[in-house]
């Protein structure tokens, strides 16, 4: 019998991890911050490679852990939806490193793009007119695509290293509580996830507000 594959974990990036794991370094040792930065960078580049290769990655956002993949990869998106038990009709959010990374995914004029750039990074998701390249497995049954640039530096860097906006949906099975740390992700989704990025969410934060760009209507607070 083949042993179930466990998700990959990497080194942490939080201040708690920094204090606990490098407490024994003396002044003659290499710079701790440089070592941590290098390990964190390698960790995120490894996660980005998993995304590029069609895998599923869980990563921290402002409020909860997100579950993502390459939005252009239909098989990866289908696998993500099966893992969550989520209907393709509901659509999915695209999370980007910056507004420029979303340029080809949105059918907006320069004024609208500049305005969005001023709103981000933040915990606000905007519903915008999709470009022709946005597949139906991302928009679902909607005529808008949901996009955002997260205020969480780990999530933004992951999208940057992936070289594409990434899918962003809560890392949980539909109807169950959202995961707020990597251990909850591992317990709830197990080997269904290929890589779990180490990071922290704000336990007091709420999921992103969703607003329709054209009408200004708040879809989710």
Domain membership flag for residue 137: yes
Domain membership flag for residue 49: yes
Distances (CA, A) of 187 to 26, 116, 184: 37, 37, 5
pTM: 0.84
pLDDT tens digit string along 148-175? 999 999 999 999 999 999 999 999 999 9
CATH number for the domain including 172?
3.90.870.10
Q: What is the rounded CA–CA span in Å between residue 127 and residue 191?
A: 32
Determine the structural domain holding residue 128 and report its residue range. Answer: 8-220
Distances (CA, A) of 122 to 5, 184, 198, 204: 35, 24, 20, 15
pLDDT tens digit string along 33-89? 887 788 899 999 999 999 999 999 999 999 999 999 999 999 999 999 999 999 999
pLDDT tens digit string along 123-147? 999 999 999 999 999 999 999 999 9
Domain membership flag for residue 1: no
Domain membership flag for residue 3: no
Q: Count up the domains in the chain and report the number.
A: 1
């Amino acid at each position: 019998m083949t042993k179930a594959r466990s998700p990959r974990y990497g080194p942490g990036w939080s201040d708690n991890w920094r204090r606990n794991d490098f407490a024994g370094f003396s002044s003659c040792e290499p710079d701790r911050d440089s070592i941590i930065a290098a390990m964190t960078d390698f960790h995120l580049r490894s996660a980005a490679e998993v995304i590029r290769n069609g895998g599923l990655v869980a990563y921290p956002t402002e409020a909860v852990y997100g579950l993502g993949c390459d939005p252009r990869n239909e098989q990866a998106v289908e696998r993500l939806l099966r893992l969550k038990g989520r209907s393709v009709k509901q659509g999915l959010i695209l999370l980007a490193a910056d507004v420029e990374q979303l340029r080809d995914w949105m059918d907006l004029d320069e004024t609208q793009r500049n305005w969005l750039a001023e709103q981000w990074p933040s915990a606000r998701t905007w519903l915008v007119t999709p470009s022709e390249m946005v597949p139906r497995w991302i928009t679902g049954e909607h005529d808008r695509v949901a996009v955002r640039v997260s205020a969480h530096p780990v999530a933004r860097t992951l999208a940057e290293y992936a070289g594409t906006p990434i899918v962003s949906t809560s890392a949980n099975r539909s109807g169950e509580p959202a995961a707020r740390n990597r251990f909850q992700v591992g317990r709830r989704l197990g080997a269904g996830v290929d890589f779990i990025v180490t990071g922290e969410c704000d336990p007091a934060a709420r999921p992103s507000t969703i607003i329709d760009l054209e009408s200004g209507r708040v879809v989710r607070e």
